[in-house]
C-alpha cells in the first residue's frame, strides 16, 4: 500500500481518537450553555470522569461499567454546580473554577487512597473495545493497519460520540424538551410566563453536561490510553469549551471544532513519529496554539444564548 495513503489513514485515525473526548465534553458544554448556565467546571468534571472510569474499569475489569461510573461521577459534579448556580444564584464562573479544583482534587485524593499513594491508576485489563474487531474478529474486516482499518476500526466511544452529536442535535432542535431548553437560555422570564419551570430545565441541563464531561474523561482514560494519570486531562476540558464557542453553541459546530483540534493533535503525533527535527514540546503546543489562533481570528462575532450567565430571579414566590 502507498505509504502516503497509510500516513493519511494514521492521521485521520488519531484525529478521531483524540477528538472523541473533546466531542463528549463540548456536547456537555452545548447543553448547559444553551440553557443559560456557563460551566467552566467541565475540565474538573472530565478529570474526575477520567479517574472514575479508569478506577472502576480496573477493579471491575469491565470497561463499560467504568464508562457509566465516569458519567455518573461527572453528573455528580454537575449537580453541585447546579445547586450553586441555579438554586443559590452563585456566580457561575466562580462555581466552575471551584469545581475544577474539587473535581481534580477529589480524584487525586481517592486515587492515593486506592492505589498506594499514587496519583495514577494501574493499567486496566480491558479497554473500551473496538466493535468491528469484536464483531468480526481482529484483522478480519479490514487488513490490519491498512487505511480502512486505521480510519474505520475505532473504539466504541468514537462511534458513540458521533451518535451523541446527532442525538443532542435532534433533542435540541426537534423536540419539545430541546425547544424549552433553548428558550430558557434565551429568555428565562418569557419561558417562566408560559409556565415552563426554568429551575428544573437548568438543573437537568447542567447535570447532563457533567454526565457528558464524565464520558469525555473516560473516553480518554480507558480508550485513548489505558489508565488515568494526573496529567492526562491537562486542559482538554477547556479546549472542549473553546470548541463549543467556536462551534457557535451548536452540536454540529462543536463536532467540527473538536475534529479540528483532534487533527492538530494527530498531526503532532504523526510529526513526532516521523522524527521531524522540531522539539517535541513545540509540537505539543500545536493544539493549544491553534485554539488561541482560532478563537482570536476565525470565530468572529458569535451569538451566545442571550441569557447566558445571568441570574434568573423568579420574583418573590
Partner 1 sequence: MTAIDFSHRAVEMSGITKKFGDFVANENINLTVHRGEVHALLGENGAGKTTLMNILYGLLKPSSGNIKINGKTLTISDPNIAIRNGIGMVHQHFMLVEPFSVTENIILGNESTRGFGILDAGKGEKEVKRISEQYGLTVDPKALIQDLSVGSQQRVEILKTLYRGAQILILDEPTAVLTPQEIKELVAIITNLTEAGKSIIIITHKLNEIKQMADFCTIIRRGRHIDTVDVSEVTEEDLAAKMVGREVSFRVAKEKRNPGEKILDIKELCVEDSRGIMVVNGLNLQLRKGEILGIAGIDGNGQTQLIETLTGLRKAKSGRIEVLGKDITNLPPGKIINNHKVGHIPEDRQKRGLVFEFNIAENLILETYFKPAFSEGFSLLHKNIYKNADTLIEKFDIRPRDATLQAKSLSGGNQQKMIIAREVSNEPELLIAAQPTRGLDVGAIEYVHQALVAQRNEGKGVLLVSFELDEIMNVSDRIAVIFEGKIVGILDADDADEKKIGLLMAGGTAKE
Letters for 65-94 (x = contact with partner 1 by CB under 8 A, - = none) are ------------------------------
Residue 174 touches partner 1, criterion: CB under 8 A: yes
Least distance (Å) from partner 1 to the CB of residue 197? 9
| Candidate list 118, 189, 272, 289; residue touching partner 1; CB under 8 A | 189
- Size of site (CB under 8 A) for partner 1: 23
Kindly list the distances between the CA atom of residue 165 and the CA atoms of 148, 156, 160, 212, in Å, as whole numbers in the listed order.
23, 14, 9, 11
Residue 306 touches partner 1, criterion: CB under 8 A: yes
The Cα–Cα gap between 273 and 181 comes to 45
Kindly list the distances between the CA atom of residue 7 and the CA atoms of 19, 259, 281, in Å, as whole numbers in the listed order.
18, 18, 22
Kindly list the distances between the CA atom of residue 169 and the CA atoms of 97, 162, 202, in Å, as whole numbers in the listed order.
28, 11, 18
| Candidate list 6, 120, 192, 229; residue touching partner 1; CB under 8 A | 192
| Candidate list 168, 191, 208, 220; residue touching partner 1; CB under 8 A | 191
Stretch that binds partner 1, among 12-20, 39-47, 107-115, 182-190 (CB under 8 A): 182-190
Stretch that binds partner 1, among 44-52, 91-99, 189-197, 223-231 (CB under 8 A): 189-197
CB atoms within 10 A of CB 278: 12
Q: Is 271 exposed, middle or buried (0-12, 13-18, 19+ CB in 10 A)?
A: middle
Please say whether the beta carbons of 157 and 20 come within 8 A.
yes
Residue 138 touches partner 1, criterion: CB under 8 A: no
Stretch that binds partner 1, among 12-20, 173-181, 257-265, 283-291 (CB under 8 A): 173-181
Least distance (Å) from partner 1 to the CB of residue 317? 6
Q: Under DSSP, is residue 155 helix (H, G, I), strand (E, B) or coil? A: coil
The Cα–Cα gap between 38 and 79 comes to 14
Residue 190 touches partner 1, criterion: CB under 8 A: yes
Nearest to partner 1 of 183, 224 (CB atom): 183
Residue 315 touches partner 1, criterion: CB under 8 A: yes
Nearest to partner 1 of 80, 307 (CB atom): 307
- Phi/psi for 311 (5° steps) reads -80, 130
Residue 195 touches partner 1, criterion: CB under 8 A: yes
Nearest to partner 1 of 195, 297 (CB atom): 195
Please say whether the beta carbons of 205 and 34 come within 8 A.
yes
What contacts 211, CB < 8 A, 6 or more positions away?
Answer: 28, 71, 72, 74, 75, 78
Q: Which residues bind partner 1 (CB under 8 A)?
A: 174-177, 179-180, 182-183, 186-187, 189-196, 303, 306, 315-317
Amino acid at each position: 500500500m502507498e505509504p502516503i495513503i497509510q500516513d493519511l489513514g494514521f492521521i485521520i485515525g488519531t484525529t478521531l481518537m483524540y477528538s472523541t473526548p473533546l466531542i463528549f465534553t463540548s456536547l456537555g458544554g452545548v447543553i448547559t450553555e444553551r440553557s443559560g448556565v456557563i460551566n467552566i467546571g467541565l475540565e474538573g468534571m472530565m478529570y474526575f470522569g477520567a479517574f472514575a472510569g479508569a478506577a472502576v474499569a480496573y477493579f471491575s475489569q469491565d470497561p463499560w461499567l467504568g464508562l457509566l461510573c465516569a458519567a455518573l461521577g461527572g453528573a455528580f459534579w454537575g449537580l453541585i454546580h447546579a445547586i450553586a448556580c441555579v438554586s443559590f444564584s452563585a456566580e457561575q464562573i466562580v462555581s466552575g473554577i471551584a469545581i475544577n479544583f474539587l473535581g481534580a482534587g477529589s480524584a487525586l485524593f481517592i486515587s492515593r487512597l486506592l492505589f498506594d499513594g499514587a496519583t495514577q491508576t494501574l493499567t486496566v485489563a480491558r479497554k473500551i473495545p473496538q466493535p468491528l474487531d469484536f464483531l468480526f474478529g481482529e484483522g478480519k474486516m479490514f487488513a490490519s493497519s491498512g487505511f480502512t482499518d486505521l480510519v474505520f476500526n475505532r473504539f466504541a466511544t468514537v462511534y458513540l460520540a458521533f451518535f451523541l452529536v446527532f442525538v443532542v442535535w435532534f433533542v435540541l432542535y426537534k423536540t419539545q424538551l430541546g425547544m424549552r431548553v433553548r428558550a430558557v437560555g434565551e429568555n428565562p422570564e418569557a419561558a417562566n410566563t408560559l409556565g415552563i419551570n426554568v429551575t428544573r430545565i437548568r438543573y437537568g441541563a447542567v447535570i447532563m453536561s457533567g454526565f457528558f464531561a464524565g464520558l469525555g474523561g473516560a473516553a480518554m482514560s480507558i480508550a485513548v490510553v489505558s489508565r488515568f494519570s494526573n496529567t492526562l486531562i491537562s486542559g482538554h476540558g477547556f479546549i472542549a469549551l473553546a470548541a463549543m464557542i467556536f462551534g457557535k453553541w451548536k452540536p454540529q459546530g462543536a463536532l467540527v471544532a473538536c475534529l479540528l483540534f483532534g487533527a492538530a493533535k494527530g498531526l503532532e503525533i504523526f510529526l513526532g513519529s516521523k522524527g521531524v527535527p522540531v522539539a517535541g514540546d513545540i509540537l505539543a503546543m500545536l493544539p493549544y496554539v491553534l485554539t488561541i489562533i482560532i478563537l482570536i481570528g476565525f470565530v468572529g462575532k458569535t451569538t451566545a444564548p442571550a441569557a447566558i450567565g445571568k441570574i434568573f430571579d423568579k420574583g418573590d414566590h
